[in-house]
Amino acid sequence: DFDSKKKRKVAEIYQALNSDPIDVAALRRMAISEGGLLTDEIRCKVWPKLLSVNTDDLPPLPGKELREDNKDYQQVLLDVRRSLRRFPPGMPDDQREGLQEELIDIILHILQRNPQLHYYQGYHDIVVTFLLVVGDRLATALVEKLSTHHLRDFMDPTMDNTKHILNYLMPIIDQVNPEVHDFMQSAEVGTIFALSWLITWFGHVLSDFRHVVRLYDFFLACHPLMPIYFAAVIVLYREQEVLDCECDMASVHHLLSQIPQDLPYETLISRAGDLFVQFPPSELAREAAQQQAERTAASTFKDFELASVQQRPDTVLRQRFRERLRGEERTKSILTKPRTNRFVKLAVMGLTVALGAAALAVVKSALEWAPKFELQIFP
């Protein structure tokens, strides 16, 4: 029964919040598992814990003086003015306009406090999600932490690190479905179709706010690379559409850039978590890397982890995946479609990782990052 399951989950979330110390590992499990955190009221309490933000010491609200002589103000203003669709339909104009003003101030405040961060178009799509869920003051603190960790690669002066993250997409697809991978390679479609998905955490491309915040629950509880795994499972879910498409760049790009709104989100979230465990970033990086990176969000994720208490999303995912493997022998055939001896070998290696034999590689995946791949998708 849905209502009874929901009540049990709410009780478990509040039990984790009220424990001493707060059981952040349990909160991560709740955010990842079916339904996520359920309500915005709960998100206001749990999101700060997932980001290790002290809600008792929030920064003061920014003042309007931030707009004077600010190099980003005009671009932020233009983007925020274009963000009408990100607000709930039917919201009174004066209320929406007030929120847009708050949105501008939050963004400028974070940029002023962190001069190493550079604004990018799409950043406001993430900030507005937090603003609508938790309000301006808490949103400022949460997005600032997020910007200096999970989103940092997107906020570099160049797009180099963003390109490198996008380059993980094709290796993930190749591990699961070489046929789709080879088709996309033949079409020379690249991965630009997924750029807006990645840099806005899908906030820009999904019209239903419920789906957006459900994904934010998931991403906040996981490794910084989880959005690219979710992008991969969307492509894999659309396997037949892709293979039925004309094998040319324009046709495949057009198909993939039009993201369906009726996706089975819970199923895809589960698959993304499973694939992260089965094919962790460290394994993909070793296959495709040309050199090690030193300046990416994933490379500093361990520091972020150490600053948090009991925050181990990789462990949560491994435990859940292990339980699934015990109950479903067919998981191997679902997640992997062997076509060559090489691929069968990789599938077995992936399952070994999931079962814990290479757990160290999973835990250290945040530190083993490759900024450059042989697969070049940008000129």
SS3 369: coil
Residue 376: per-residue pLDDT:
30
Q: How many Cβ atoms sit within 10 Å of the Cβ of residue 330? A: 8
pLDDT average, residue stretch 295-322: 53
155/125 Cα distance (integer angstroms): 14
Residue 237: per-residue pLDDT:
97
Cβ atoms of 131 and 106 within 8 Å: the answer is yes
Largest CA distance in the chain: 63
Q: Report which of residues 196 and 328 the model is more confident about.
A: 196
Which structure tokens are listed for 290? 């040309």
Q: Report which of residues 362 and 265 the model is more confident about.
A: 265
pLDDT range class, residue 61, cuts 50, 70, 90: confident
Residue 296 has pLDDT above 60, yes or no: no
DSSP state of 156: S
Residue 309: per-residue pLDDT:
39
Comparing 20-34, 62-76, 228-242, the range with the smallest average pLDDT is: 62-76
Q: Report which of residues 314 and 128 the model is more confident about.
A: 128
Residue 278 has pLDDT above 70, yes or no: yes
Residue 351 has pLDDT above 50, yes or no: no
Q: Report which of residues 203 and 67 the model is more confident about.
A: 203
pLDDT average, residue stretch 258-262: 92
pLDDT digits (tens, 9 = 90+) for 86-141: 999 889 999 999 999 999 999 999 999 999 999 999 999 999 999 999 999 999 99
365/369 Cα distance (integer angstroms): 7
Comparing 35-39, 300-304, 315-319, the range with the smallest average pLDDT is: 300-304
Residue 297: per-residue pLDDT:
59
How far apart, in Å, do the first and last CA atoms of the chain sit?
A: 53
The top-scoring range by mean pLDDT among 121-130, 279-288, 303-312, 339-348 is 121-130
pLDDT average, residue stretch 212-224: 96
Residue 323: per-residue pLDDT:
64
Query: Which structural domains are found in the chain, ordered by start?
Result: 1-154 (1.10.8.1310), 159-310 (1.10.472.80)
Residue 349 has pLDDT above 70, yes or no: no
Comparing 132-136, 190-194, 324-328, the range with the smallest average pLDDT is: 324-328
Residue 346 has pLDDT above 90, yes or no: no
Cβ atoms of 196 and 227 within 8 Å: the answer is no
How would DSSP label each residue in 9-30? HHHHHHHHHHSSS--HHHHHHH
Comparing 75-89, 97-111, 323-337, the range with the smallest average pLDDT is: 323-337
Residue 248 has pLDDT above 90, yes or no: yes
pLDDT average, residue stretch 365-369: 34
pLDDT range class, residue 343, cuts 50, 70, 90: very low
Residue 77 has pLDDT above 80, yes or no: yes
**Mean of pLDDT over the chain:** 81
Q: What is the 3-state secondary structure (H, E, C) of 259-285?
A: CCCCCCHHHHHHHHHHHHHHCCHHHHH
Residue 52 has pLDDT above 70, yes or no: yes
Beta strands in 184-258 (DSSP E): none
> Which bin fits 310, alpha (ψ -120 to 50), beta or left (φ > 0)?
left
Residue 328: per-residue pLDDT:
58
DSSP state of 153: G
